[in-house]
Amino acid sequence: MITTTLHPGKDGAGVVRRTVLPGGLRVVTESMPTVRSVAVGMWVGIGSRDEAPEHTGASHFLEHLLFKGTPTRDALEISAAIEGIGGEINAFTAKEYTCYYARVLDEDLPLAVDVLADVITSSLITAEDVEAERGVILEEIAMHDDDPSDVVHEQFSAALYGDTPVGRPILGTVDSIKALSRDRIAEYYRRYYLPSHTVVAVAGNVDHERVVELVATAYERAGALGGDEQPIEPRLGGAEVPYLSGVTVLDRATEQANLVLGTAALSRNDDRRFALGVLNAVFGGGMSSRLFQEIREKRGLAYSAYSYTSAYSDTGQFGIYVGCLPPKIDEVLKVARAELAQLIAHGITEEEIVLGKGQMRGGLVLGLEDTGSRMSRLGKSELVHEKLMSVDEVLGRIEAVTLEEIQTVGRDILTRPMTLAVVGPYGDRDFSSALE
């Protein structure tokens, strides 16, 4: 058992410590002495990207099943244990990891650790539960399908990456969910839900040694502690993932058209991500951004108009989203493309870089005031980053970004072949000229 201090913090706050337990189970904590809540996350380094094509949706299906029962708790007892003390418990599945988390008052930390460790180590995954939950997941897919802004983002990813692990939907498809067998999911659970694949991240008014003790006790009770395995390496990614370009239109009788226009961008550990972050803030990050000002403030063409970046281990996305009444789409596309061209040609101004950096800086500091986001930073960092940067380090990297770096990364990313995804009442209208 090796404990290291990743960050010394200041006056007892922001101290980050990490311990590796036998079997490769990692415990990382951050002290926040002035809060009463504590956030506990158990992060498993496996996600929808790790699924074979015929098992699309298995990670997320499994995530649901973990709340159905263990030898000592049924579904009601799992949720009631945490909700009865006023806490929340939930989980989410991403492409590269899956996270189970709870937020409770600090005095309830032992219970939260016990419940989460129980579901992670000792899920029963009965055939009966698989059948009931299959229905729930088909409902979840239908629910997302009724939200055109969800649909267009999914459609964009699918068009950008094609039928590949990173392009396929996290929830799976109706067909893949109907076909997944109990045995297949249980095998997936046994193979991947190991201490070596798991990070327990905790943020709040906590003592590291005490957390380690609670986690060790819970895992020991489940017979899940021990062995020589080392923690799996963070998922840093290899060669860049290839991407496609083109237009994809889904004909839907919606009131608004929804569109995403974008391309592949930077992977998660790319050094240029800070420059791209400032660029994105200025281009479409908020109400003061170019996109919002041109599309909404000046022309009243949309309610929601923004750009975004997202990142995985070996690729990322830069995209523009707009929702607008169907007849306005041509003007929206024209304005968006003109803004892209303007940025490629001239970069951003001295004034804008100050604005963009301020936006990123403040968003970071304000965004880390609650235990949940601090906990997430710890968990993700262990699984998918080279190392945990301190907040000051991140602030320094943002501050160091230059106008030239922004222009360079803008020219690299924004001149790439683009993909356009559209959902709206357009029949078989041809949008290919929108990319010319």
Binding flag, residue 431, a copy of itself (CB under 8 A) = no
Binding flag, residue 299, a copy of itself (CB under 8 A) = yes
Binding flag, residue 12, a copy of itself (CB under 8 A) = no
Residue 303: CB minimum distance to a copy of itself, A: 4
Binding flag, residue 67, a copy of itself (CB under 8 A) = yes
CB-nearer residue toward a copy of itself: 44 or 398: 398
Catalytic entry in 51, 63, 96, 382: 63
Residue 206: CB minimum distance to a copy of itself, A: 15
Q: Which of 298, 334, 387, 429 binds a copy of itself (CB under 8 A)?
A: 298
Residue 7: CB minimum distance to a copy of itself, A: 18
CB-nearer residue toward a copy of itself: 55 or 64: 64
Give the range of 185-193, 239-247, 252-260, 407-415 binding a copy of itself by CB under 8 A.
252-260
Q: Which of 302, 375, 409, 414 binds a copy of itself (CB under 8 A)?
A: 302
Instruction: Copy the structure tokens of residue 12.
Output: 């007892």
Binding flag, residue 320, a copy of itself (CB under 8 A) = no
Q: Which of 164, 217, 288, 342 binds a copy of itself (CB under 8 A)?
A: 288
Q: Which of 52, 54, 72, 80 binds a copy of itself (CB under 8 A)?
A: 80
Q: Which of 235, 296, 374, 380 binds a copy of itself (CB under 8 A)?
A: 296
Q: Which of 301, 383, 413, 421 binds a copy of itself (CB under 8 A)?
A: 301
Binding flag, residue 76, a copy of itself (CB under 8 A) = yes
Q: How many residues does the chain have?
A: 436
CB-nearer residue toward a copy of itself: 216 or 305: 305
Pick from 166, 168, 311, 333: nearest CA to 249: 333
Q: What is the 3-state secondary structure (H, E, C) of the chain?
A: CEEEEEECCECCECCEEEEEECCCEEEEEEECCCCCEEEEEEEECCCHHHCCHHHCCHHHHHHHHCCCECCCCEHHHHHHHHHCCCCEEEEEECCCCEEEEEEEEHHHHHHHHHHHHHHHHHCCCCHHHHHHHHHHHHHHHHHHHCCHHHHHHHHHHHHHHCCCCCCCCCCCCHHHHHHCCHHHHHHHHHHHCCHHHEEEEEEECCCHHHHHHHHHHHHHHCCCCCCCCCCCCCCCCCCCCCCCCEEEEEECCCCCEEEEEEEECCCCCCCCHHHHHHHHHHHHHCCCCHHHHHHHHHCCCCCEEEEEEEECCCCEEEEEEEEECHHHHHHHHHHHHHHHHHHHHHCCCHHHHHHHHHHHHHHHHHHCCCHHHHHHHHHHHHHHCCCCCCHHHHHHHHHCCCHHHHHHHHHHHHCCCCEEEEEECCCCCCCHHHHC
CB-nearer residue toward a copy of itself: 127 or 236: 127
List all residues 6 or more positions away from 76 whose beta carbon is below 8 Å from its beta carbon. Answer: none
Q: Which of 8, 12, 84, 162 binds a copy of itself (CB under 8 A)?
A: 84
CB-nearer residue toward a copy of itself: 353 or 383: 353
* 405 included as an active-site residue: no
Residues between 89 and 128 with contacts to a copy of itself, criterion CB under 8 A: 89, 103-105
Q: Which of 364, 389, 394, 403 binds a copy of itself (CB under 8 A)?
A: 364
Q: Which of 1, 52, 127, 142 binds a copy of itself (CB under 8 A)?
A: 142
Residues between 368 and 427 with contacts to a copy of itself, criterion CB under 8 A: 369-371
Binding flag, residue 300, a copy of itself (CB under 8 A) = yes
Q: Which residues are catalytic?
A: 63
